[in-house]
Amino acid sequence: MPLTILYPSDVAHAVDLHGGADGTEYKAGGTDVVDRHHQGILAPRTLVDLGRLGVLRGVEQRGDGWRIGALTTLLEVAGHEGLGREHPVLRQACDRTATPQVRAMATLGGSLRQKVRCPYFRHPDFTCWRKGGQECFARPGDNHWHAIWDNDTCAAVHPSTPAAALLALDAQLDVHFPGGDQRTVDMRAFTTFDVSDAMADDALPDAALVLGVRIPRPARPTRQAYERASARHLADWADVETAVVLQMDGDVVADARVVLGAVARRPRRAVEVEQRLNGHRLDAAVIADASAHAADGATPLPHNGHKTRLACNTVQATLERLTS
């Protein structure tokens, strides 16, 4: 399919050019939009290429935390020493995403806003909700990869591993909205949207452009880790993944963030686990008790019940890494 590529002169211009038009998408690293264009999967007809907007790239330490430009590649995020030292959860998450070649191209902003990896969506012969159809084929079909929460309409899981880490870090997004507004949207708001809308992947309109990510300086010392369950150690999509950031008062968990990925339409905080950690020392009994609640309230589909156990075990494995 023929493709038009537009090169905006600045951020506002980019958002204007996008204009929310059907078939128009931003191109950052291109690993999703170029793939979909070539495979004919919701193929963009016009790409607004952000590649030359240099302002969107780079990692910067500020007084109140870190700011990462949306076009910073996952390789750069994972390779940034200061950032990695302070926020290992983000480094580990980026490092386990995709392959080295893809990480060298894929950007943090693009990772947050890529389309889902559901094999039905990515199959040319299924016209699901997201491609203008009237149904989800995974729910009555093979839903082994799919969501165990938020799965009433579209059952695809959110595809971004870094998103789980950013939610655990209480990160905020600098967003340029259509019409010219620039606002900060925190990850919790970004991941809060009406899941009955099968097309939605986040709370932002399509034309909204994520400019960068801010990671606020935590109020207390933290312990952080990312872990996943997957058949292969590397270069695989996670079956279930967990990002944990614990703010500590000495040995006691003061404020826990336990986020599950690959289980819902969005990265999902396991509040039931967090509550059982807050105010406790991180010992084996507390971890075992808390992680057993990681999948509370899940509504698995016929072929993905295994994800509830994987969720509990992945949370447990991640917390166990943080005991010392």
Partner 1 sequence: MAQLRRREFLKGAGIAVTTAPLAAAGGAGDGAAGRTDELPAGQPVDLALSVNGETQRVRVLPETPLVDALREGCARTGTKRSCGHGACGACTVLVDGTPRVACLSLAVDAPGHAIRTVEGLETDGKLHPVQQAFVDADALQCGFCTPGMVMSGVAFFERYRAAGRTDTPTDTEVGHAIAGNICRCGAQPAIMEAIRCACLGRTAVPPGMRDGVPAGALRRQDAVDKVTGRARYTVDVQLPGMLHGAILRAPHGHAVVKKLDLGPARRMPGVRAVVELLPRASGGWLTVRWAGMEVAAVAADTLAQARAALAAVDVQYDVRPPVVDRAAAERPDAPVIFPRQARGEARKAAEGPSFPHLLYRWDGNVRGSMIWPIDRDNGADVLEQVAAQPVRVDLAAETAVQVHATLEPHAVVAHWEGDRLTVYASTQTTQALASDVADAMDIPVAQVRVLAEHVGGAFGAKAGLKMEGLAAVRLAREAKAPVRIAVPVGDDLTATGNRPGTRHRIRIGADAGGRLRAIHHEGRSYCGAAVGESSTRMTDSLYHADASYRWDANVVTHSAPSVPFRAPGFPPNAFALEQAVDEVAAQLGVDPLTLRLYQERSPRRAAVLRLARAKWDGPPLDRVAADRGRYVRGAGVATADWFVLVGPQCRVEARATRDGHLTLSTATHDVGQGARTALASLGVAGLGLPPARVHVRIGDSALPPAPGTFGSISTNSFAPAALAALDELKDALWDAGARRHPGARRVERGLVTTGGRFLPFQELMAALPEDPYIVLARRPPDRGGLKLPPAPVDRIPLSPIGISQDTTNSVQIAEVEVDRRLGRVRVVRVLAVLDAGRLVAPITSASQVMGGIMQGVSFALYEGRRLDPHTGRNLTRSLESYALLGAADAPQVAVHFLDLPTEHTPHGGAGLGENATIATSGAVANAVFRAIGRRVPRTPLRPQDVLAALA
| Site residues (vs partner 1, CB under 8 A) | 1-9, 13, 16-17, 19, 30-31, 34-35, 37-39, 45-46, 49, 51-52, 75, 95, 98-102, 104-105, 117, 119-120, 122-126, 137, 140-142, 144-145, 227-237, 239, 306-307, 309-310, 313-314, 316-317, 320
Smallest separation, CB 18 to partner 1 (Å): 10
Residue 183 sits at φ, ψ, to 5 deg, of -135, 160
Distance CA 258, CA 241 (A): 10
As a whole number of Å, the CA-based R_g of the chain is: 19
Task: Rank residues 217 and 309 by Cβ distance to partner 1 and give the closer one.
Answer: 309
Nearer to partner 1, 62 or 309 (CB): 309
* Cβ neighbours of 193 (radius 10 Å): 16
Q: Which is nearer to partner 1, 27 or 67 (CB)?
A: 27
Give the nearest distance from C-beta 122 to partner 1 in angstroms: 7
77: Cβ contacts below 8 Å, ≥ 6 apart: 59, 68, 83, 90, 91, 94, 108, 162
In whole angstroms, the minimum distance from the beta carbon of 108 to partner 1 comes to 17
Contact 224, 246 (CB under 8 A): yes
Report in angstroms how near the CB of residue 105 gets to partner 1 at its nearest: 6
Toward partner 1, which CB reaches closer, 120 or 190? 120
Of the pair 19, 279, the CB lying nearest partner 1 is at 19
Amino acid identity for residue 74 in this structure: L
Burial pattern 46-82, b for ≥16 Cβ within 10 A else e, equals bbbbbbebeebbebeeeeebbbbbbbbbbbbbbebee
Nearer to partner 1, 191 or 308 (CB): 308
Provide the minimum distance between the beta carbon of 35 and partner 1 in the complex, in angstroms, as a whole number. 6
We find the least distance from the C-beta atom of residue 150 to partner 1, in angstroms, to be: 20
Minimum CB distance to partner 1 smaller for 105 or for 254: 105
How far is C-alpha 182 from the chain's CA centre? 21
> 98: phi > 0 → left, psi -120 to 50 → alpha, else beta; which?
left
Minimum CB distance to partner 1, residue 72 (Å): 14
* Whole-number Å distance between alpha carbons of 130 and 278: 39
